Amino acid sequence: MTRPKAIILTGPTGSGKSRLALGVGEALGAEIINADSLAFYRGLDIGTAKPTEVDRQRVPHHLLDILDPDEPFDAAAYLALARPLVERLWRADRPALIVGGTGLYLRSLCRGLFPGPGRQEGIRAELREARRQGQDLHALLAREDPLAAARIQPRDLTRLERALEVIRATGRSIVDFQGRHNLADQPFETLTLIIDRPTAELDADIRRRTSQMFAAGLLAETRNLLSAGWDPDLKPLKAIGYLEAQACLAGEISLETAQERVFLRTRRLAKRQRTWFRGQLAEGLWVPPDPAKILSLIREFWANR
């Protein structure tokens, strides 16, 4: 049976994915499925550059505002929600345009999930406590699973936590599970387009977007989240922008310092994302932010059904 097709439009943060997706989505009659982990959360709008209501009227969007800030989520949960959406759109002859930069979720769409253990909340809690005590997760992994540690960057906390979770839950390396992963089980036939922009140009847009977020009310949005009773140590509230906004609201840093820290952290994130895409989405096509070129590639892909 022919696998459903899905189009992934991704790229480093600040590369203009959402803006391009709107124009492409309108031209194709597509629907957009979010693949930005922070945009799942209600109340995190400005700091995530979440599509506006006007954007959502232009092109239907899915998987936005589906979680409260304290709800856990992972790639398995994402695939369970995204898969029926893609399949429904395929049956309706409407392209599914998956837009975002959360790599693990994109990889689950391209390659499915390897047959490892599910989320282990007890182990996750142990690892969070280890981090609070200043322990180096990469050093822990190097002791417990040196093979996995050799493949994971020291700053890639998500993958470090998952590798430690697997080795502690099963006594086996995550590399072993990945080696047994059958790519024939991948859920979709995908076209992966990765937006490629010069670094200097991307940096300028990141700085501009950072200023715009603060001007649009990032401090007020963060204050509202805290006033609603959400724990400031929740993972979404420690994300780029919200962590600095909290420090600014507490009087620990100035507004100017908060903006500069957000810019620097975002720029570092963009660099890590580019590296991750090259290593983990090797099938992806790096394309300039040219709507005509992107439309041409998608139409060619979609036409052969």
pLDDT > 80? residue 184: no
Quote the pLDDT of residue 267: 96
* Reported pTM: 0.82
Quote the pLDDT of residue 185: 61
Domain 121-179 belongs in CATH node 1.10.20.140: yes
Q: Which CATH architecture has domain 5-114+181-303?
A: 3-Layer(aba) Sandwich (3.40)
* Model confidence band, residue 179 (pLDDT cutoffs 50, 70, 90): low
Percent pLDDT > 90 in the chain is 70
Quote the pLDDT of residue 115: 61
User: Considering the chain, what is the average pLDDT of its residues?
Assistant: 91
Quote the pLDDT of residue 282: 82
Quote the pLDDT of residue 249: 97
| Euclidean distance between CA atoms 78 and 88, whole angstroms | 16
- Reported as a single tens digit per residue, the pLDDT across 103-134 is 889 988 887 776 667 778 889 889 888 988 88
Quote the pLDDT of residue 238: 94
pLDDT > 50? residue 56: yes
Comparison of pLDDT for 72 and 249, the residue scoring more: 249
Least confident range of 49-53, 65-69, 96-100, 278-282: 278-282
pLDDT > 90? residue 276: no
Quote the pLDDT of residue 177: 74
Q: Where are the domains of the chain?
A: 5-114+181-303, 121-179
Quote the pLDDT of residue 201: 95
Tokens of 284: 């992806």
Quote the pLDDT of residue 172: 86
Comparison of pLDDT for 2 and 45, the residue scoring more: 45
pLDDT > 90? residue 157: no
* Model confidence band, residue 74 (pLDDT cutoffs 50, 70, 90): confident
Quote the pLDDT of residue 95: 96
